Amino acid sequence: MTSLSSAPLVEAAPAEALRLSGLVKTYGSGSTRVTALRGIDLAIARGSFTAIMGPSGSGKSTLLHSAAGLDRPTSGTVHLGGTEISALTPRQLTAFRRDHVGFVFQAYNLLPALSVEDNITLPLRLGRRPLDHGRLETLLDAVGLTDRRHRRPAELSGGQQQRVAIARALITRPHVVFGDEPTGALDSRTGKQVLDLLAHTTKELHQTVVVVTHDPVVASHADRVIFLADGAFAGHLDGGTPQQITDRMSTLGEW
């Protein structure tokens, strides 16, 4: 068995892509101490699309950052794809995120000097991993950019740039793709296309997707909506309509 001092310990892939156990996150100390997460227990199934919602200050972004390994919890554990990432050293965690976690944010974060194809394959080059040309072709086709593979970001629309970001997040076959308001900068029609694409990846590519959003329409594309309030789990809704999600959110406070 490999020790954590040399490499992350990865077990056989579990049915759950993500498990949070007793997750607590606090900031500051004494009179300025703020508790952002209060003992969250959560399991996300492989190949599912989950949305996280809650009022402002409910802890949803902190939850996403902790689950993705961008922030370390104060206590509790995070298991991602069979690895307890909350036990990794900072260096191990950086390598793990690069190789096994995908990110899609409101800002596309594409490199302007690189082509569509080079932006998508950048995580592989950074990790010195070989390119699976079949995977690249599948993703270019899935995001509808095969004929734009040699263009640069400035030559693409906002929706097309976000599609490049999604393909880049998928190229490493990550355990989970995390999205933080991934359609926040897009108009409603383009946003729907991007959401349909994310939903498509869960069904056709068996990819696990977790997004934080304040938009009930975005959340309605998910298989399950997780609600947070004051840093604690406040229920869930499966297959909800935008109106049903809005009604549930209205009981949780300002949002």
In this predicted model, what pLDDT tens digit does every residue of 146-204 receive, in sequence order?
A: 999 999 999 999 999 999 999 999 999 999 999 998 888 888 888 888 888 888 888 88
What pLDDT, on a 0 to 100 scale, did the predictor assign at position 190? 86
Does 2 have pLDDT greater than 70?
no
- At 14, the pLDDT band (50, 70, 90 cuts) reads low
CA diameter of the chain: 57
Question: How much is the average pLDDT of 29-58?
Answer: 93
Distance CA 75, CA 26 (A): 9
Dump pLDDT digits (tens) for 204-229.
888 999 999 999 999 999 999 999 99
CB 186 within 8 Å of CB 159: yes
Arithmetic mean of pLDDT over the chain: 89
Question: How much is the average pLDDT of 36-61?
Answer: 94
- At 11, the pLDDT band (50, 70, 90 cuts) reads very low
Does 237 have pLDDT greater than 80?
yes
Domains defined for the chain, CATH in brackets: 16-250 (3.40.50.300)
Which of the two residues, 203 and 6, has the higher pLDDT score? 203
CB 94 within 8 Å of CB 46: no
Question: How much is the average pLDDT of 101-111?
Answer: 91
Question: How much is the average pLDDT of 105-113?
Answer: 91
> Alpha carbon of 115 to those of 112, 127, 235: distances in Å?
8, 19, 43
CB 198 within 8 Å of CB 191: no
CB 74 within 8 Å of CB 25: yes
- In which element (H, E) is residue 165 found? helix 158-170
> Which residue matches tokens 């989950």?
50
Alpha carbon 83 to its chain centroid, in Å, reads 17
Partnered with residue 232 across adjacent β-strands are: 229
What pLDDT, on a 0 to 100 scale, did the predictor assign at position 254? 58
Virtual torsion, Cα 191, 194, 200, 201, nearest 10 deg: -140
CB atoms within 10 A of CB 141: 11
Q: Which of 127, 129, 130, 108 has its CA nearest to residue 119?
A: 108
Distance CA 220, CA 239 (A): 7
| Angle at 200 (CA atoms; ends 210, 21), nearest 5 degrees | 20
